[in-house]
A = this chain, B = another copy of it.
Amino acid sequence: MISTIEWKNGKVMMLDQSILPLEVKYVECTDYRKVAEGIKKLWIRGAPAIGIAAAMGIALGAQDIKAATMDDFLRKLEPVMDEILATRPTAVNIRWAVERIKKFLAAHRAESIEKIKQLLIGESQSILEEDIEINKSIGRWGAQFVKDGDTILTHCNAGSLATGGYGTATAPMLMAAKEQGKKIQVIADETRPVLQGARLTSWELMQAGIPVTLITDNTAGALMKKGMIDLAIVGTDRTTRNGDVANKIGTYTVAVMCREHGIPFYVAAPLSSIDFTMASGDLIPIEERHADEVTSIWGHRVAPEGVNVINLAFDVTPAKYVTSLFTEKGAFKPQDIKKLLREDVDLESIRLRPL
């Protein structure tokens, strides 16, 4: 499996995803500023992956600090954390990682400076490993719904590249193929405008040895009609309490087309992506992105100057189109997700079983 980011011999090795799939290049970060640059310039992307990068960046920055006292050390670590936070100010996972490191530091104030430097490396490793474990769990629960011989449609990239490893939507594919020995193949939507499916998903599945076919987003419906797709698995940016799923633009269309053809539509959703505070997907503000993503492709203008553009970053798929959500605690019907809030819930009683 491709490594997106790792701590190796005192350095952070980061795969530069911005030049994939044409070049596979790891950036060797010996300075936390290089890690910050990588987050900023989208060498690394995907919510879990940038959280991991943030933690590793802070750990890397800590190594170079020369301080006589713990107070001095912590004071000198502040600008490192600020710089990491400033890379992508709205990224929830970076903020989460920084908060986690701060709590960790507060809990280990009694240690020596040399010891805390080591512990920070360990903590950033833990964040990576926990993410991988969550994805493996999602993968094992989800893989139960993948049958031998299945063709799986996916949209955008919710793969290894976006996480510490295994990905979310790709984890059930990897587990079905690698752990369970099921013969599967994947159809990857190219996912306009940013083409994550073409550039990243198809590449990483090829690396993992899973047969993958790339299509334009326009083609999925025709393949469903021909009976060539057995199920769809996608990721989610945010899932609300009622089971509505916000994900990359085009996901809603995939879901509607699946229902029209009687094809199960699954969403791989780590519990961290479920926003229990939000009642429904209608409440999620939809980010509009720059028109350039639509009107130019790699600097080549493809549309008239001055044309009006609507470029929505994601759309919301209502719960009624979602067959099941794959989480690290099991596969659940979207309407049962809210029950996970209750501490007394018997998970076994609401887990969805494969037919």
Q: What's the Cα separation between A311 and B315 when bound, in Å?
A: 25
**Is the pair B249, A260 in contact by a Cβ cutoff of 8 Å?**
no
Segment at the B interface, from A9-17, A162-170, A292-300: A292-300
Are A216 and B192 in contact (CB-based, < 8 A)? yes
Q: Is A257 an interface residue (CB 8 A)?
A: yes
Taken together as a complex, chains A and B put the C-alpha atoms of A223 and B286 apart, in Å, by 12
A250 in the interface, Cβ–Cβ < 8 Å?
A: yes
Q: Which residues of B contact A304 (CB under 8 A)?
A: 21, 202-203, 206
Given contacts A214-B294, A298-B297, A315-B225, contact A303 B190 (CB under 8 A): yes
In the complex, the answer to whether B206 meets A307 with C-beta atoms within 8 Å is yes
Question: Number of copies of this chain in the oligomer?
Answer: 2
Tell me whether A303 and B221 are in contact (CB under 8 A): no
Query: Which of B206, B298, B303 meets A199, CB within 8 Å?
Result: B303
Give residues 150-189 of A contacting B (CB, 8 Å). 187
**Which B residues touch A355, using CB under 8 A?**
none
Is the interface on chain A under 10, 10 to 19, 20 to 34, or 35 or more residues? Answer: 35 or more
A222 in contact with B303 (CB, 8 Å): no
Contact check, A295 vs B214: say whether CB atoms are below 8 A apart.
yes
Q: Does A193 contact B (CB under 8 A)?
A: yes
Contacts A198-B294, A309-B214, A315-B221; A300 near B300 (Cβ below 8 A): yes
Q: Are A211 and B308 in contact (CB under 8 A)?
A: yes
Nearest Cβ in chain B — how far from A230, in angstroms?
16
Q: Is the CB of A253 within 8 A of B300?
A: no
For chain A residues 208-250, which have a beta carbon within 8 Å of chain B? 211-223, 225, 248-250
Q: A271 on the interface (CB 8 Å rule)?
A: no
